[in-house]
Amino acid sequence: MTNSYSIFYQSYEGVLTIPETYKGKPVIRVSNMGSKFGRNITTIIGSNNLQEITSWAFSSQDTIPMCIEEVIFPKDGQLYKIEQMAFYLCTKLKKVILPSNFKEFGDGVFERCVALESLIIFNNIPPIINGDLFNCNATLVNDSYWHKKPNSDFKVYVPDDAVEIYIESKWGEYRILPISQVLV
CATH architecture of 11-139+146-184: Alpha-Beta Horseshoe (3.80)
Total-model pTM: 0.87
Give me the residue spans of the domains in the chain. 11-139+146-184
From CA 33, how far away is CA 135, in angstroms rounded? 21
Reduced DSSP (H G I as helix, E B as strand, rest coil) percent helix, strand, coil of the chain, to 5: 10, 25, 70
Query: Do the beta carbons of residue 8 and residue 38 sit within 8 Å?
Result: yes
Provide the residue-wise pLDDT of the chain in tens; the chain has 184 residues. 355 444 554 566 788 889 899 889 999 998 876 555 566 888 999 999 999 999 988 887 666 777 899 999 999 999 999 999 999 888 899 999 999 999 999 999 998 898 999 999 999 999 999 988 998 765 544 555 455 667 889 999 999 999 999 999 999 999 999 999 987 5
